[in-house]
Structure 1
Amino acid sequence: MSTGPAQGGREGEGEPPQSGAEEPAGEKPAGETPAAAPPPPPPMAPPRAAAYMAASTLLAMTQGFGMNLVAANIPQLQGPFGATTAEATWLMAAYMAPNASLSLALIKIRNQYGLRPFAELGIAVFLLVSVAHIFITDLHSALVLRFFAGIAAAPLSSLGFLYMLEAFSPARKLTIGISLALTNIGLAAPLTRFVSPALIDLGGVRALLHFELALAMLSFAAIYLLPLTPPPRVKVIEKIDIVSYLFIAVGFGAGAVVLVLGRQYWWLEARWIGELLVVMIGALTIAAVIELNRERPLIDLRWLFSREMLHFAAVLVLFRLMLAEQTAVAGNFFQITGLQNDQLTGLYGMVALATAAGGLLCAAILKPGREPGIHMAALLLIGVGAFLDSRATNLTRPEQMYLSQAMIAAGGSLFLPPAIASGFTLALRKGPQYILSFIVVFLVTQSLGGLAGSALFGSFITLREKFHSNILAEAMTLADPLVSGRVAQLSAAYGHTITDPAVLKAEGVALLGQQVTREANVLAHNDAFLVIALLAVGAATALAIHMLYIRIREAGARSGGPAAVEG
């Protein structure tokens, strides 16, 4: 499970990702004496560093609120747009289709045309799209705007990272800086769900859109008041890059739509799901063929499929699957028990606090060589939290999940920063040109991996609910005195309005069927919680075996060293 070296320092630890890691330095002419390395920049004054950290938080919240706006409020959006649940979910798919791959292109655009024009243009476009959202009145218009919102929001995630890293010295960018930046990203989802009910109470869906616009305007001001250090511009875009990226964008976009909507329309029922999968596979295959035959590829696929990068990608995918417990499974559990968003604000407030606490703790303790220990603590927190949730009943309320959900949130904040720092170090060891390939791994595992986690566990819950419903229904027969008594008890509430005994009995049977379905859903969610707990325990066991193997190998190397020298 460890994604980086367990011992020793990091090479390139002091490289600032925003200015020196992403742009390959120009080569010196033959015979020219290399110039002395420039002195490190002076540390930023604390008030100015705090301003950059606040700007990073603001940008992350702006991007995260836009991304989670629909997912957190699908029932509330159905009414104003006159849409079913499946139709409202298309708003999520429209946002994620372009957003899933656009960060890949923006890295090279930023390198070639400069950071400040990139930041100013990106936030200006996002502001315009946010203004346009206020005037939407129907679902089709909303779909178009959500598509452009996904495009416009892509620069904000990069800018949120860069502003946080700007506030720290090079030696702390891959420890404190990256921990706080990733914590901001993790805070966006629970905070969106925390503030949405209050905003809807104030002004309905329009209040959500006005809030998104207000965040965009504040971000616009922050970017103009606090410029980032401009890295040297390098001509890195080739014509074939555009062709390759278009195929990657089509492939990622099709995959995002399938993952968001596959469970709503069911995987084997809608023909267009299969057609989109064919498009995804075809587009990504063509992109891979182009990249494998280039001298300077946009993405180094050979390196991405190396053992160490496959290990790194597997760790991140497993992490995203485990975090689906909080982003998808727990939220759905309370929905099927009949709770609304305004009844869950306390839970999401607790999740936000635990996320912040985990991120601050990680920033305080993260150092080279500590990654396995931090990952072990994170996996144990996630595993114990998911196991506690697996004992839920239909009487479980949010207050009873405060502890377990806080453990999972803190574990998530602890897990990701060491993994990303280690992966970034792997890329730096190969050379600055590999940073873009590393970004692809992070992008796929976090954006598409997050969607895959929700789709996988959502489908698992659906299948397990059918299984438990069949088991429970088999035991339900009106010949059983307990069942017939329950039917009579449930139908008694309608005795004053329904006089026909057969209709009254049928109403009682229907109500009992609803209770059986609810119980089956509870059991299905408990199964999902337990699977996630087992995943975390299995990952922790694999990590412990890996750490033990490294210790044994190092002990053997130390004991064999003197003998080798004497020989």
Structure 2
Amino acid sequence: MTTAPATAEASRPEPVSAPAPALPFRQALPYVAAGGLVAIAQGLGQGFVSTNIPQIAGDLGITTTQASWLMVAYIVPRAALPPMLIKIRTQFGLRRFAEIGIVIYALVAFAAVWISDWRSAMVVQALSGAASAPLSTLAFLYILEPMSPRFKMVLGLPLVMAFLLAGPSLARVVSPALIGDGGLQRVHLTALGLGMLSLAAVFRLPLRPVPHAKVIQLADLCSVGLILIGFAGVATAFVIGPIRWWTDAAWIGWALAGAVAALALAMVIELRRETPLLDVRWLASPAILHLTATLFLFRLILSEQTSGAPRMLMTLGMAGSQMTALFAVIVIATFVGAMACLAWMRPGREAYLHLAALSLIAVGAFMDSHATYDTRPEQMLISQALIAVAGMLFMPPAMMAGLLSALAKGPNYILSFVIVFVSTQSLGGVIGAGVFSTVVNLRQAFHFQQLSAGLTVTDPGLANEMSLRAMSLAAQTPDLAQRKLQAAAQIASDASRQAYVLAYNDAYFLTFLIALGAAAALLLHLFRDALVARLAPAAPSSDPKATTQS
């Protein structure tokens, strides 16, 4: 890693306290439980929005496209505000940072109960995204703080990542039972209840105080504003682009261009500041760039689980209640992966765990690429469980590598890395889902064109199928011409669904190829490192007897 030039921030460092000793097990356990509760509350809050877009549209009387804007309103502050939390934590202290953050989250959860229209929903979702921004950081702090340095890496990281990754899938497990016939009211009440429990836990278990100083400057607000604009442009494009289609709305391209310009300007401003919000030189160092690219690639291929399987099954007519068992298995597999990390994750083993994760994703995606029109959630249990385990085999080791790099730079960089990690992963998930949906839409159009070309009126098989379907509709529609029109519409609908299945198979197979290619590249990297170590000259011996004999 390159060494960043010294800045004025180095001459006026943020206050750093000595690492606090680990708490005894009996005292540490409540903190770990509180961190898990905060992580689950944050994950469920995000999952309730992404999972229930059709129900939200129905409740508010809006289209699904309008409801998709709620995801943009939630994700933008969720991804853009974490960098500012670094200085907020330093100026106001960890305890006040935790208490204010959880109070705001509980108040927003209370406001969500009273949503009545699209505008109020947009405002509440934006506030909810802003309020949830500190929660992932709080989950890390509560789980890692009471542990010794050794257990922070091998025990704390797998636990906190398991809680954070399991939240969105858990939302799909509980949403059908909560919605029932009563709409989203019980969903909002559940989020409120979790927020209140988290509030009680944070006030009952205060974090250890650390030295703090006045570090927030007016220029920080300028940088955060530009980052907010940049993230808003990216999130809007990748959420709405696949829905409205990229080339059908010129403003999508302008949004992306504006996002790039805003982020570039923010980086220029940060590079020229004496006390920057983010150390851009450190973040742009080869080691951190490599880690960021690796995490981003993994977020892309993990979209196979978050944006692939559930949407394909919904296209095939599966309701949320029919997918409950599938996502319950995913949640269980996530914690199984955490247990595997507890057993095998150690510094220096990151590459081998990543290789295992990529191999599992390749196997799971290859299994999914053979889906058919008759595929049901039960046929995807094994493949999706493998991908969920792979997620846990990848994320904690990658997080450990980043934290060790930050620790080598200085204690102040640890929380900075956590916040940047949370921010980039939030935005990476949106980009991954947008890319996956775009691939599916392109391939669906191609396959539907191919299938439609084969549906000709001269085809005897098609004529026979239309006759059979028309006969089955005789009891409902006595008019023969109307029955033929309905039969033709049913066949066209089936062709569209079949085209979607083939498109998802193509996207799954592309995921398989990407995972396989990444695994091959990692194997070559390990082989090169082993070859270099084998050919390197042996270090001169420091044994006095050996020196005398020579």
C-alpha distance in 1, partners of 2:223/2:372? Answer: 50
Distance 1:433 1:218, change over 3 A: closer
Match of 1:123 among 84, 102, 105: 102
Mapping for residues 178-217 of structure 1, pairs under 5 Å = 178-201=157-180, 203-217=182-196
Map of 1:292 onto structure 2? 271
Match of 1:509 among 460, 474, 488: 488
Distance 1:142 1:483, change over 3 A: same
Moved more, 230-239 or 111-120: 230-239
- Aligned AA for 1:264? I
Check if 1:360 corresponds to 2:339.
yes
Check if 1:454 corresponds to 2:444.
no
- Aligned AA for 1:312? L
Check if 1:267 corresponds to 2:246.
yes
Mapping for residues 429-468 of structure 1, pairs under 5 Å = 429-435=408-414, 438-439=417-418, 441-468=420-447
Distance 1:259 1:444, change over 3 A: farther
Report the alpha carbon displacement of residue 240 of structure 1 after superposing the two structures with TM: 2.0
Report the alpha carbon displacement of residue 321 of structure 1 after superposing the two structures with TM: 0.7
- Aligned AA for 1:161? F
Report the alpha carbon displacement of residue 503 of structure 1 after superposing the two structures with TM: 3.3
Contact 2:14 2:212 (C-alpha < 8 Å) held by counterparts: no
Check if 1:139 corresponds to 2:118.
yes
Map of 1:101 onto structure 2? 80
Check if 1:324 corresponds to 2:297.
no
Contact 2:78 2:132 (C-alpha < 8 Å) held by counterparts: yes
Map of 1:59 onto structure 2? 38
Contact 1:74 1:89 (C-alpha < 8 Å) held by counterparts: yes
- Aligned AA for 1:472? L
Check if 1:389 corresponds to 2:362.
no
C-alpha distance in 2, partners of 1:441/1:360? Answer: 26
Mapping for residues 541-556 of structure 1, pairs under 5 Å = 541-556=520-535
The runs of 5 or more residues in structure 2 that have no matched partner are 2-11
Distance 1:439 1:408, change over 3 A: same
Match of 1:333 among 306, 312, 315: 312
Map of 1:20 onto structure 2? none
C-alpha distance in 1, partners of 2:157/2:90? Answer: 20
C-alpha distance in 2, partners of 1:68/1:26? Answer: 37
Identical amino acids, percent of aligned pairs: 43
Q: In structure 2, the residue corresponding to 1:204 is in which secondary structure? A: coil
C-alpha distance in 2, partners of 1:243/1:346? Answer: 47
Which digits, 9 at most, give the CA deviation of each residue in 1:340-386, with x for residues without a partner? 00000000000000001101211222111111111111111111011
The runs of 5 or more residues in structure 1 that have no matched partner are 5-22, 28-36
Distance 1:282 1:43, change over 3 A: closer
Report the alpha carbon displacement of residue 520 of structure 1 after superposing the two structures with TM: 0.5
Mapping for residues 489-508 of structure 1, pairs under 5 Å = 489-508=468-487
Moved more, 428-437 or 521-530: 428-437
Mapping for residues 549-564 of structure 1, pairs under 5 Å = 549-558=528-537
C-alpha distance in 1, partners of 2:234/2:358? Answer: 28
C-alpha distance in 2, partners of 1:398/1:557? Answer: 52
Which digits, 9 at most, give the CA deviation of each residue in 1:69-110, with x for residues without a partner? 111111221221001111111111111121111111112101
Which digits, 9 at most, give the CA deviation of each residue in 1:471-495, with x for residues without a partner? 1111111111111111112222222
Map of 1:8 onto structure 2? none
Check if 1:309 corresponds to 2:288.
yes
Map of 1:89 onto structure 2? 68
Moved more, 480-489 or 237-246: 237-246
Check if 1:156 corresponds to 2:135.
yes
Report the alpha carbon displacement of residue 47 of structure 1 after superposing the two structures with TM: 2.5
Which digits, 9 at most, give the CA deviation of each residue in 1:514-540, with x for residues without a partner? 111111000000111111111111111
Match of 2:149 among 164, 167, 170: 170
Q: Give the total of aligned pairs.
A: 534
- Aligned AA for 1:223? V
Report the alpha carbon displacement of residue 279 of structure 1 after superposing the two structures with TM: 2.6
- Aligned AA for 1:145? V
Moved more, 424-433 or 388-397: 424-433
TM-score of the pair, normalised by structure 1: 0.90
Report the alpha carbon displacement of residue 560 of structure 1 after superposing the two structures with TM: 7.9
Distance 1:357 1:517, change over 3 A: same
C-alpha distance in 1, partners of 2:131/2:50? Answer: 18
Contact 2:78 2:133 (C-alpha < 8 Å) held by counterparts: yes
Report the alpha carbon displacement of residue 504 of structure 1 after superposing the two structures with TM: 2.8
C-alpha distance in 2, partners of 1:303/1:45? Answer: 35
C-alpha distance in 2, partners of 1:120/1:433? Answer: 21
Q: In structure 2, the residue corresponding to 1:297 is in which secondary structure? A: coil
Report the alpha carbon displacement of residue 558 of structure 1 after superposing the two structures with TM: 4.2
Match of 1:347 among 326, 341, 348: 326
- Aligned AA for 1:284? L
Map of 1:277 onto structure 2? 256
Map of 2:5 onto structure 1? none
